[in-house]
Amino acid sequence: MRPRTLTAGLAAGVLTCAGALTGCGSASTSTSSAIRTLEAEARPIGRGPRFQAPVRGRPLGRCGRRLGPREAAHIELFAENRVVLVAAGVGVRGPRRYADGRIVSARCYGALVTLDPTGVVLVRPRTHLTLAGLFRSWGQPLSPTELAGFSAAAGQHVRIYVDGRLRRGNPRTVPLTRHAEIVLEVGPHVPPHRRYTFPPGPSS
């Protein structure tokens, strides 16, 4: 799965595919079901600095000149029924060079980094880092009742899902393991993805 911001273009693309399969009743039913699922899971990206907070923290561990081998985890954050973007450039020191919105070179890279705002976190193998390290390097708060500046309602907590399953406890302790799909939420429930389609590369 990819970040869940459903657009008219995406829906139109699915409908176009459905039109190409006219005459196959099961395909049409399947397509309608897929559209309903996308609509149920989709949330817009929140507007303003609260939902798109910049990096204020520092790289963790050794800051090396090369990115090197990495293991990828995917993080999705939701507050007030909106997507909260994990900033690009967590764990990276400038100057930075971008191409198509992605960091392609920098002065140095820490133990965990984000190169774009898709929520993919690249971690050095065998570093055993958790969400606490990600949020510390980002410079945003994370606790059982607070998520990147958003607070859970009285008597509620930050909800944690790992690979689609509800996890109890402190979100700071969730490990950033290879290909984990981690969803954190405060506010209205958002159906969590069970997996994420990671791009090919050294972290695949």
| Tens-level pLDDT at each residue, the chain (204 residues) | 444 543 333 333 333 233 333 333 445 555 565 555 555 668 899 999 999 999 999 999 999 999 999 999 999 999 999 999 999 999 999 999 999 989 999 999 999 999 999 999 999 999 999 999 999 999 999 999 999 999 999 999 999 999 999 999 999 999 999 999 999 999 999 999 999 999 876 554
What is the rounded end-to-end Cα distance, in angstroms, of the chain?
15
pTM for the complete prediction? Answer: 0.80
Structure tokens at 156: 């509620």
Instruction: Provide the pairing of β-strand 71-79 with 181-186.
Output: parallel
